[in-house]
Amino acid sequence: MNVASWIITIAGEDRPGILDDVCGVIQRNSGHVDDLRSVDVGGHFAMLVRVRIDSGSEQAMEHQLAELASYSGLRVTVVPAINSDDPRSHIYRLTASGKEHVGALKKLSHLLRVLSVNIDSVETHSEADGSTTMALVLGIPREMPVSKLKEFLAQLLGNSDMTWDLAVM
């Protein structure tokens, strides 16, 4: 039997048991969780799950997830996964901290867009002292000299009075 990969997106008000409910649906359909990310921000929950499941079982899984959504108030979508393992990229972790946040994040995301650097994940946190920390996992094209990217980052983030580090993962 063929195996297919699917992306499940779940969002809504946070409550205990959401992961248990979702894993129950996946398990009942003999699925396997390849990757799962979840977060609670201000009482709202979001989860992305990459699932491998036997072809033909996805309709039952989608139906059961729709039932979960109808009685839980969660928003659930299921779409086919796109193969995102790009052997043409180097994976790096960029960390930055300082007082500037939204402006620096906007400028940084624009720079990375222009350079065709993919942002695989991003987390930001505000600290009690008013500073912000950012952590990004980046897919840097192999043809891009990392030293050149570091020059751009030094100029951009240095102008924002942020300390930063770029390291291979």
pTM of the model: 0.77
- pLDDT at 84 (0 to 100): 60
Asked if residue 65 and residue 35 are part of one domain, the reply reads yes
Asked if residue 162 and residue 99 are part of one domain, the reply reads yes
| Helix 18-28 with 58-72: angle, nearest 10 deg | 160
Residues in CB range of 132: below 8 A, 6 or more apart: 97, 98, 99, 100, 101, 124, 125, 126
Residue 116 Rama label (left phi>0; alpha psi -120 to 50; beta): left
Asked if residue 94 and residue 65 are part of one domain, the reply reads no
Asked if residue 124 and residue 61 are part of one domain, the reply reads no
Asked if residue 50 and residue 7 are part of one domain, the reply reads yes
What's the structural domain count of the chain? Answer: 2
Average pLDDT of adjacent 10-residue blocks, the chain of 169 residues: 90 95 95 94 94 90 94 94 73 90 85 94 87 92 94 88 91
Q: What is the CATH number of the domain that holds 101?
A: 3.30.70.260
CA distance 136 to 166: 9
- pLDDT at 87 (0 to 100): 66
Point out the domain boundary residue: 80, 103, 132.
80
Range of the domain at 128: 89-168
CA distance 41 to 26: 25
Kindly report the number of other CB atoms within 10 A of residue 116's CB atom: 12
Asked if residue 126 and residue 64 are part of one domain, the reply reads no
